A and B are shown apart, each in its own frame.
Chain A
Amino acid sequence: MHTWSPFSYIVINLARQIRANEVTFSGVNSTLPMLACVLAKRAYDFHFTWINVAGGVEPQPTTIPHSSSDPGIVTGSAAIFSNQDFYDLCARGGIGLVYLGCAQIDGEGRTNVSSIGPWEKPKVRLPGGGGAAVMLPTAQRVATWRTEHSPRALVDKLDFVTASGNLAALVTPLAVFQRTTGRFRLESWHPDASLEEVVARTGFQFDTAGAGPTPPPTASETAALRAIDADGAFEAEAAIK
């Protein structure tokens, strides 16, 4: 039986959101989704098209850069798909899965990447959505992740709504939530945790019907992640507790 680390739990559960024959996009400041895409290419036997913010289309990087927008992540592409091209593709409904980050997320899958505290007088000014306000409503599905599972990150009420739309999955070190319309429901939790712990550490209300422990990583998922992060540098850098 293969076991989870906080790092492998997020990367592999992000990879599990990818569906066959879809266009999947990984963006800026998205190292974990970038690794999820590389992992899915190695671990799963179905085809999907991976495009990324650096312009890569089906890249085959020999070494994986630490920045998800590093030009090196284009290596091996047979085409360059520019920023304007992938924004437009998303806007006209042509991207199946987009990974978008968040600082806060609420129970209806809305995200805040703009401001902690009031916009007019923020406690922390965040870097912004990077297109999220357009991509979240126009992508067919969006998956997000948070390395901290806490009531201040998974909130009942956002300090600011940066984007609202087709959020379909939320992955934390503790749990996986899914959403089609309306509110998140709990899909599964880390097998070392419990439903009670997920409830206690989540600031929004959610449905738990049908949820159970997350199925363990498969041998091919574990092998792929080990190959991608042979020296453990990505895992150390992510420092997920």
Chain B
Amino acid sequence: MTLVAGLRAASYGIPFQPVAGVFGSDLARVNNWKTVTDPYSGKEVYAIPAIRPDIAVIHVNEVDEFGNARLYGTPFWDHPLTRAAKRVLVTAEKLVSTDHLREQPELTLVPGFMVEAVAVVPNGAWPGSMHPYYDIDYPAVERYLDNSPGALEAHLAAAPEAKQ
């Protein structure tokens, strides 16, 4: 909630975002969050400072040559993240035609003019999931968690970009 508040502040072009709650949490102390007085009610509210990432990297289902990025299913944080960041990079499962995206433009999460560069990486969310194309690869995640010598190398060797 507080992280998305910081991203919202950046995407709105404002220095901070008031957020509900937080009172009573030690997070305010360790993050040095401060309160401001609501000028209308006089009540105190926590103000989360803007978070403006240098770069947002998101993975989507489809992208065209202009960077228009389409997502199926749930966007998670991708909307506030791409609006808050100074630069946006996109990886995608598939390269598609612009005409294909024009058939349902409302599915395009990030318009191309906001995107600096794209890379087409089939299976690029592995070992995570990419709805609706593939589910999370739990055995691969478990192998990644293995701390023994060679496990990381084996994981990287199995990655989709290594197979391209």
Decide if B98 is an interface residue (CB 8 Å cutoff).
yes
Main secondary structure of the interface of B (DSSP, over half): helix
Q: How far is the CA of A185 from the CA of B39 in the complex (A)?
A: 40
Is A77 among interface residues, defined by CB-CB distance under 8 A?
Answer: yes
Instruction: Report, as a range, how many residues of chain B touch the other chain.
Output: 10 to 19
The one of B12, B14, B83, B108 in contact with A79, judged by C-beta atoms closer than 8 angstroms, is B108
Cα-based distance from A90 to B11 in the complex (angstroms): 10
Which secondary structure characterizes the binding site on chain A? mixed
Scan residues 81-119 of chain B and give those whose CB is less than 8 A from a CB of chain A.
83, 98, 101-102, 105-106, 108, 110-113
Q: Is A91 an interface residue (CB 8 A)?
A: yes
Q: Cβ of B113 and Cβ of A23 under 8 Å apart?
A: yes
Q: Which of B55-99 contact A (CB under 8 A)?
A: 64, 66, 68, 83, 98
Q: Please judge, given known A-B contacts A23-B113, A85-B83, whether A80 and B105 are in contact too, CB under 8 Å.
A: yes
Q: With CB as the reference atom, state the residue of chain B lying closest to A93.
A: B13
- B47 lies within 8 A of chain A by Cβ: no
CA distance A74 to B106 in the complex (A): 11
A81 vs B111: C-alpha distance in the bound complex, in angstroms?
8
Residues B111 and A78 in contact, CB atoms below 8 Å apart: yes
- Of the candidates B13, B83, B102, B108, which one forms a contact with A76 in the assembled complex, judged by CB atoms under 8 Å apart? B102
B125 at the interface (CB under 8 A from A): no
Q: Are the C-beta atoms of A88 and B13 separated by less than 8 Å?
A: yes
Considering residues A57, A89, A92, A93, which has the most beta carbons from chain B within 10 angstroms of its beta carbon?
A92
Quick check: A79 and B101 within 8 Å, CB to CB?
A: yes
Contacts of B98 in A (CB 8 A): 78
Q: Does B51 contact A (CB under 8 A)?
A: no
B97 closest partner in A (C-beta) = A78
In the complex, what distance in Å separates the CA atom of A186 from the CA atom of B47?
45
Cβ < 8 Å to B, chain A residues 49-91: 49, 51, 57-58, 74, 76-81, 85, 88-91
Contact indicator per residue, chain A 37-55, by CB within 8 Å of chain B (1) or not (0): 0000000000001010000
Is B130 part of the binding interface, using a Cβ–Cβ cutoff of 8 Å?
A: no
B110: chain A residues within 8 A (beta carbon): 79
A138 contacts B by Cβ under 8 Å: yes
Q: Do residues B13 and A77 form an inter-chain contact, with CB atoms below 8 A?
A: no
| Residue among A77, A78, A88 with most chain B CB within 10 A | A78
Q: Whole-angstrom distance between the alpha carbons of A77 and B113 in the complex?
A: 12
A92 CB contact (under 8 Å) in B13, B66, B113: B13
Which residue of A76, A79, A91 contacts B111 across the interface (Cβ within 8 Å)?
A: A79
When distances are taken between beta carbons in the complex, the residues of chain A under 8 Å from B48 are none
Residues of A within 8 A of B13 (CB): 88, 90-93, 138
A residues near B (Cβ < 8 Å) are 23, 49, 51, 57-58, 74, 76-81, 85, 88-93, 138
Residues of B within 8 A of A (CB): 10-14, 64, 66, 68, 83, 98, 101-102, 105-106, 108, 110-113
Query: What are 13 sample pairs from A and B whose C-beta atoms fall under 8 A apart?
Result: A57-B111, A57-B112, A78-B64, A78-B98, A78-B101, A79-B111, A88-B12, A88-B83, A90-B13, A91-B13, A92-B12, A92-B13, A138-B13
